[in-house]
Amino acid sequence: MIDLATLLTFTLAAFALAATPGPDMLLIMTRSVAQGRMAGFITLAGISLGCYFHAIIAGLSLSGVLLLAPVMFEIIRWAGAAYLLYLAMQAFRGAGGFQAPAAKDGMAPRIALGVLFRQGLLTNILNPKVALFFLALFPQFMQPDPDTAVAQALILASVLNVAGGLVNGGIIMAAGRLGEFLSSRPAFVRWQNRLLGGVFAALALRLAFDRR
């Protein structure tokens, strides 16, 4: 299995990945601002589950299907671009981006917790940064043992989720206070939605046309 020195080295890499801004972090922040900390943590839970999907793929790659990895990454790349464009359109419409926190009378639009969990899951599964991290770097921290490859990958994914939980948990706690600031500034929220939509659209185009 994985030795302690390798695990510590991977932990540093995991924190570096978790601290890098990307679609996952952006989604967690927007959901936390829109609906509070619970929404942020539910989104984070979906993202964390998505990590195990990538871990299983990485584990299987060491069990004899490594040649499928380039094809799988292309599928994830294009599906990710399409999903980012979908999130961009939702943000431009004001349905999926920043929203003022729900009023006490409950009349403000809210996204169901199940939908938030699904969005977090899909954003992570279709995130090429995470896919590349797992497919390219995981094997470097794993022993070449086909019998334990999946188990090793799941251990590394758990370390990555702990790092992500600590980093994004801090973002969720801070975003709740930001939500209170935005609740009385609807014009600012509209511009934030446009900015968010532009960011998602730019990420989608870069993902689709950047051959690296």
For residues 40 and 92, the model is more confident at 40
Q: Is the pLDDT of residue 48 over 90?
A: yes
pLDDT at 49: 95
Tell me the C-alpha to C-alpha distance, in Å, between residue 179 and each of 31, 55, 88: 10, 34, 20
Min mean pLDDT across 15-29, 39-53, 138-152, 180-194 is at 180-194
pLDDT in tens, 67-117: 455 666 677 667 767 877 877 787 777 655 544 444 444 434 578 889 999
Answer for the pair 166, 72: CB distance below 8 angstroms, yes or no.
no
pLDDT in tens, 142-176: 887 778 888 999 999 999 999 999 999 998 998 76
Q: Which residues contact 40 (CB under 8 A, 6 or more apart)?
A: 28, 29, 31, 32, 168, 171, 172, 175, 176
pLDDT at 80: 67
Domain boundaries, the chain: 4-78+99-185
pLDDT, average across residues 204-210:
73
pLDDT, average across residues 54-79:
68
Answer for the pair 24, 123: CB distance below 8 angstroms, yes or no.
yes
Rounded to whole angstroms, the Cα distance separating 204 from 212 reads: 14
Outline where DSSP puts E strands in 25-115: none
- At which residue do the structure tokens 């060491």 appear? 62
| Percent of the chain predicted with pLDDT > 90 | 19
Please name the amino acid found at residue 120: G
